[in-house]
Structure formats: C-alpha cells, structure tokens
Amino acid sequence: MSPTGPEPTSVSVNLRFVIAYRDDVWTALGDPTRKAIFELLLERPRAVVELAGELPVSRPAVSQHLRVLKDAGLVTDRPDGTRRIYRVEPDGLAVLRADLERYWGQALAAYKAVVERATEVNE
C-alpha cells in the first residue's frame, strides 16, 4: 500500500476499464457481485463454474471478481484437477472482524460520552 492509499490495479477483459484496490477488504466487498460471491464462499468452498451457475454473471466475470477478492486477501484457491477451488481466507475474515470491532468500540464510546454529558446537564 502506498502512503496515499491502496495501489490501483486494473480489472478488464472486454469490459470498460475498472480500477480495483489491492489490500482493501471493504472496497473489494463494495461491489454487489463480489459480495454475493464472498457470501457463497462463506457457506463452503466452490469452483468458478459453480459460482457462475448461481449468479447472473459469466465465468470470466466471476474469475475477475475472485481475483479482486484474492488480491484483497479475502479468498484463497487451490488446484483440483483442471479447476481451482476457492474458499474464504480466515485471515481476511479476521481483518473484517477487527475493523468492525474497532468501529463498534468507537460508536459505543461516543454514545457513552453523549449519555454522560446529558446526565451531567440534567443534574
């Protein structure tokens, strides 16, 4: 990651040019199709053809989305004969969880401060 933010990488095969960001789990999941793929992989590992069969996108599009998820550290793959099986990467999921816990902790601290101020004013 550069000091100014995530490194851009292009994702395009006969599609309009799209910039994706490596190492940014939230940006990777910001796309509805990638989020749907990630949710399917949370259920169990799957091959590209299986994912494409459950989504309204082509196999090449699924492969592109999986590449973005893999670059973000959210999925990993392993060879299985002539295909690749994708699964959720536990370390990537841990990054999501840590971010959510941090956001939740900040929200609770802010709420506590507001309640304490309101209590002081009412006393």
Residue 62 near residue 51, CB atoms below 8 Å: yes
Which pLDDT band holds residue 6 (cuts at 50, 70, 90)?
Answer: low
Q: Which residue has the higher pLDDT, 23 or 78?
A: 78
Are the beta carbons of 84 and 78 closer than 8 angstroms? yes
Query: Residue holding tokens 């006969």?
Result: 14
Q: Quick check: 1 pLDDT over 50?
A: no
Q: Is the dihedral of CA 6, 11, 15, 17 positive or negative?
A: positive
Q: Is the pTM of the predicted complex or chain greater than 0.75?
A: no
Q: What are the tens digits of pLDDT across the range 33-55?
A: 999 999 999 999 999 999 999 99
Identify the residue with better confidence: 109 or 76.
76
d(CA 47, CA 78): 10
Q: Where are the domains of the chain?
A: 1-88, 90-123
pLDDT at 75: 97
Architecture in CATH of 1-88: Orthogonal Bundle (1.10)
